[in-house]
Every structure is written in structure tokens, then in C-alpha cells.
Chains A and B, each alone.
Chain A
């Protein structure tokens, strides 16, 4: 009844239960945070815009991205993964999402940023639909916790348009 084995077992079980409970509470406490992030993107230049030999349109552009994601950080936040995606509709596809730029924000101090960049991933359509195409730029973020549930949300910025002609 009071052997070493039983005591060790009881202690271990108790410790693991408490640890699991603390992890669950840390994850639940994230729900109390109501963030108010902001983002702004400016397309400065379309560097080039052409049809690939296989017939798909490809465009390269330079953007100014600024965002303030400080309010996403809580004590249970390990990092925030943020990316900017171009989203548009074509006759063939009801939704196209193309990630143009992404970044990992390791801490609250780095969560208010400003970056001048051209698209990190290739902006290629499945087809030849990009001329004069209107598209949304959407800032998505995924909050990775130290433990528990992951959160995601976005800001949609509508009203961007690609040029009518290849260049």
C-alpha cells in the first residue's frame, strides 16, 4: 500500500494531471484576448507581366507592406506567422489564393513592421486571366501558441487591379 512504487506512481500521475490542466488553461486564456491588428499594402510597381511559354500568366510586382500585429501577442504566443496573399476569381477557378510574401514574427517587439519587397513566391495564374484582373490582397496571420489551440484570422484589402497589357 505504501511502497515506493505506489508513491512514485501517485506523484507522477498528479504531476502530469496538473501539467495538462495548466496547458489547457493557458490555451483557454487566449480566448480572453480580443486583438485589433491593422495592415496596409501599397503596390508600388509592376516589374514585369508576361505570358509563360506554357500559356500561364505571370506577374512580378513591388509592394510596400506595413502592419501592426502587436495586439495578437499574449503570454501563450510562441510566434505569429503572417503572409500576404493575392485572391481572385477566374472563369475556371472559383478561388485562387497565391501567397506573395510571408514572414515569422518571433516576438511582440517585431510585430509592428514595414517592409519594401517584391513578391517572394511567383504570382502565376492557372491560365491567361490576369490582364486587367481585379484582385484582393489579404493579410493572413496564424498565431502559434506555446501550447494548445492555434488561431488564424485575416484582413481583406480589396480594389487592386493588374494592367491591361503585358509589359
Chain B
């Protein structure tokens, strides 16, 4: 009896150790992803350093599913730059190009934007009666570009089933893997 009990104990202890290792490695993956994201936020100074293009209003430059890297610096905003802005009362940020700038002596600035593929300027998209964007509407300016990668997030937000399947499969893989 004593011999069997000993064996059982050793098996149990191995399982607990394995379980702990898996939990720790899973935690490491999650935290390192978080660290990278937060570090990017610090470096770029933008609250969302990477955005996915959701509409075709900047075609043929940016298509749906492309991702943009943003940078937010103290540099003044100039015509021609592609900025990401939030309009009061709208949740989804918009990526468009600056076509008019009026900058006052004290640094306050009025900005008008337009999508390259749109016929008219963005005054129709702004809040009712708003003619110009100010500095605080701007979330960042686009500095870099990577095609197609954003499709992953677009598919996952539009078809949540795929997201759950993916998370389930990854979880299963982590639990069943032995190293």
C-alpha cells in the first residue's frame, strides 16, 4: 500500500508542477504582449499606436485592412499630413488628409481634412455646425504603413465565432502541449 501511495503522490506533484509551468508561460505571453503595446504607446506618444483602416476613403493609398503606425509629437500639424482624428459624438476614429491649416500666433490651430477618395471635404462628417478640427481632436499622424495585416482584426470583430474558435484552439494547444 505504501508503495502505491508514494507513486500516486509523485504523479500528483508532477501534474501540479506542469500545470503551474503552463500557467506561468501563458501569463508570460499575455504580459509580454501588454508590455510591447504599452511601450509602443510611450514611444509614439499616441494612445493607439497602430490603427486598422476600416473604410475605402483613402484609396488607392490605404485600403480596408491595411494598418497604419501613428506618431503623436509636439510638432505642428501641416497640410498634407495624414492624421487620425476623433469627432465629438462619433466613436470610430477617422484617417484622412489635412487640406487646410490656419495656425494662430499662440499655436491654436484650425484644421480641415478630406479623404483622398472622397469628393468633398469632411465638414459633413464633423459634429453639427463644426467647421474646423482643433488640436485636441487629433489622435496622431500616420508615419508608416503595412498592407493587409489588419484583416485579422476586421475578420475577428465581424465574425466573433472565428475569434472564439481561435482562442479555444490556442488554449487547447497550450494545455495539451508538453515540453
Contact = CB atoms under 8 A, between A and B. Distances in A.
Given A78-B61, A142-B80, A99 B145 contact: no
Interface string A120-156: 0100001000000000000010101111111010000
A85 B81 CA distance: 13
- Range of interface residues on chain A? 20 to 34
Contacts of A163: none
Contact of B116 (A92, A104, A121, A145): A104
Given A81-B116, A121-B121, A5 B80 contact: no
Interface in B145-161: 145-147
Greatest chain A CB density within 10 A among B142, B143, B145 is at B145
A97 B145 contact: no
A81 B99 CA distance: 12
A83 B100 contact: no
A78 B63 CA distance: 12
B101 A97 contact: yes
Nearest to A127: B102
A93 B104 contact: yes
Interface in A47-96: 78-79, 81, 83, 85, 92-96
Interface in A25-47: 27
Contacts of B142: 150
Interface in A88-124: 92-99, 102, 104, 106, 121
Contact of B79 (A5, A83, A104, A144): A83
A99 B143 CA distance: 21
A157 interface: no
Contacts of B177: 5
A23 interface: yes
Contacts of B116: 81, 102, 104
Interface residues of B, number: 28
Interface in B70-121: 76, 78-82, 97, 99-105, 110, 116, 121
B60 interface: yes
B29 interface: no
Contacts of A152: 80-81
Nearest to A6: B177
B64 to A, nearest CB: 15
B102 A99 contact: no
A95 B100 contact: no
A140 B80 contact: yes
B144 interface: yes
Interface of B: 60-62, 76, 78-82, 97, 99-105, 110, 116, 121, 142-147, 173, 177
Given A81-B80, A99-B100, 13 more contacts: A27-B144, A81-B61, A85-B79, A93-B104, A95-B76, A96-B103, A97-B79, A98-B100, A104-B116, A121-B121, A144-B62, A144-B145, A148-B144
Q: Would you list the 3 A-B pairs with minimal beta carbon distance, nearest first?
A: A97-B79, A99-B99, A97-B101
13 contacts: A23-B146, A78-B60, A79-B61, A85-B80, A94-B103, A95-B101, A95-B103, A96-B102, A96-B103, A97-B79, A104-B61, A142-B82, A150-B145
